[in-house]
Structure 1
């Protein structure tokens, strides 16, 4: 992307921002309708009408009505990735990076509807598939972050295993929080999961060479 195309401050071009805004609006309307009517009773035409677009336009953005909610889930994964990069301390230690995330609820702060989505996914196979696909895609991103911080490659078996453990911990923590009637706050669930993963990584990390 050229500097001109990126715009000021490296921002995406206006057309891309509009596209993402449209995807987000569709996602929010889809979730609202799913929560009110149920997935089976909600059609693609219903979602398109609520978002103020044609059904044909809706299909240009998403492959199925269930996938319409994916931008809401993907945002959480993007925030998690950004937070991990921001807290990486340059020590080549994922355990240190995880331990440095002192406000894990900020991972999902923009996703006030996350609980509804995860709860719906328990009984809706289509939504469950989107939830799991989102985590599947995030795993490769987590592997890249780990590789960058430890001087390894994203294809390294150990890196991929670490990314998988981190990914699973985040998913299970969010599901536990979302499905507990009067459960602990999301921040507490995420902190507990991240601490557990950090301990595992610390236990298997090779000793750093001494001078």
Structure 2
């Protein structure tokens, strides 16, 4: 099976699993039921996913990948907030919009489902090296530089927290604030001091033994 076909099949299983979790709950959804939803055996499902909760990973990754793709286009003359407000848009096509809605459902379920919570956290942890590469290119620093890695971890946390806040509003039926503006606030906090000059100054001071 080609990598593309494998990825598409994983995404198909993922969407089916999220739909069943939303309709019936995690406990009442078995691997057999997930497989049957897409015409596969449970054995085939377990070839692609280690647990039923991990079936949600592809849908969650699509959401993170969308944000990362926008960050890769971040031009040097703009702040991150300026770039996001100008360029970032939630997915517009029906399929991608449905996946974005599924992500919010998974986040909401993860508040009471430890297995889903673990997957949600792991997806953002695995995004950190990719985010570090984006920042490293912007700052002309190595991606394994400790300050770059810390900023990448902060951005991953900002993505997670803004998503959790949005999902909570949706689940509670509250008036939903602008998701892009919310993301900007979180990322502004995460990237405070990311400017090349500021990071270089901190790096120099630490090497010189200055505790400040």
What TM-score, normalized to structure 1?
0.82
Residue number in structure 1 paired with 2:122: 133
Residue number in structure 2 paired with 1:197: 190
RMSD, matched Cα: 2.2
Which segment drifts farther, 43-52 or 143-152? 143-152
Q: CA deviation at 1:145?
A: 1.2
Matched residues in 2 for 1:105 and 1:121: separation? 25
1:74 to 61, 73, 90: 61
Pair 1:96-2:79 in alignment: yes
1:174 to 163, 166, 169: 163
Q: CA deviation at 1:99?
A: 3.3
Residue number in structure 1 paired with 2:40: 53
Matched residues in 2 for 1:75 and 1:49: separation? 23
Question: Per-residue displacement from partner, 1:4-58 (whole Å, max 9, x unpaired)?
Answer: xxxxxxxxxx822221111111011100110111101110110000011111111
The gaps in structure 1 that reach 5 residues or longer are 1-13
Say whether the 8 Å CA contact 2:13–2:34 is kept in structure 1: yes
Matched residues in 2 for 1:134 and 1:111: separation? 15
The gaps in structure 2 that reach 5 residues or longer are 202-212
Say whether the 8 Å CA contact 1:173–1:189 is kept in structure 2: yes
For the residue of structure 2 that corresponds to 1:112, the secondary structure is: helix
Q: 1:99 to 1:206 in 2, by over 3 A?
A: farther
Aligned residue pairs, count: 190
Runs of 4+ in 1 over 6 A off after TM superposition: none
Residue number in structure 1 paired with 2:206: none
For the residue of structure 1 that corresponds to 2:66, the secondary structure is: helix
Which segment drifts farther, 108-117 or 22-31? 108-117
